[in-house]
Amino acid sequence: MEEIFEEVKIVHPKVNEDKISNESPQEMVERLATLKAHSIRSSSIVVAADTVVELKGKIFGKPSNVEKAKEMLRDLSGKWHTVHTGVCIKKEDKELSFVSSTRVKFHDLDEETIDMYVRTGSPLDKAGAYGIQEDLGMILVEKIEGDFFTVVGLPISRVWWEIKKLNLK
């Protein structure tokens, strides 16, 4: 991202990521991105994001352990699901938030592939127990419909254009 923005500082804000009852996945990620952005005190541009995976109305966040990761991957195996990334951009009194959603289809995964991927450790800190961009996560995905970077966790192209629209540069 340093190629796009002059200086990037990554901060991991601590916010309660629990879902609120009757909240849609889209509402949830937008709310959490906004909470994260508001938790950071800075005179610079703040870009905060949160990502979840949705399968038939069920939200898949980060798995709590290896078995949960395997269970999530089995559930997603061979199916289309949607990745929702909420983003909040703010600088002083200017603020904007949005949600970007992308559909992803997994290959039919066998236990050997699931075990091999989970052993990398990557699934434990990823929504839906996978990262399309790293380790073996890239072999899980058969196809996508939408923005690849939404699945990664930050739709960078849209972030760029929204910052320009807010005239924050």
Contact 84, 25 (CB under 8 A): yes
Which residues are known to be catalytic?
50
Q: Which residue has the tokens 């002059």?
A: 6
User: Which pair of structure tokens corresponds to residue 7?
Assistant: 């200086």
Token pair 């901060």 is found at: 11
Separation of CA 115 from chain center: 23
Integer Cα distance of 13 and 25 in angstroms: 20
- 3-state percent helix, strand, coil for the chain, nearest multiple of 5: 35, 25, 40
> Please, are residues 114 and 73 in contact by the beta-carbon 8 Å criterion?
yes
- Taken in order 29, 80, 151, 96, is the CA torsion positive or negative? negative
CA distance 27 to 29: 6
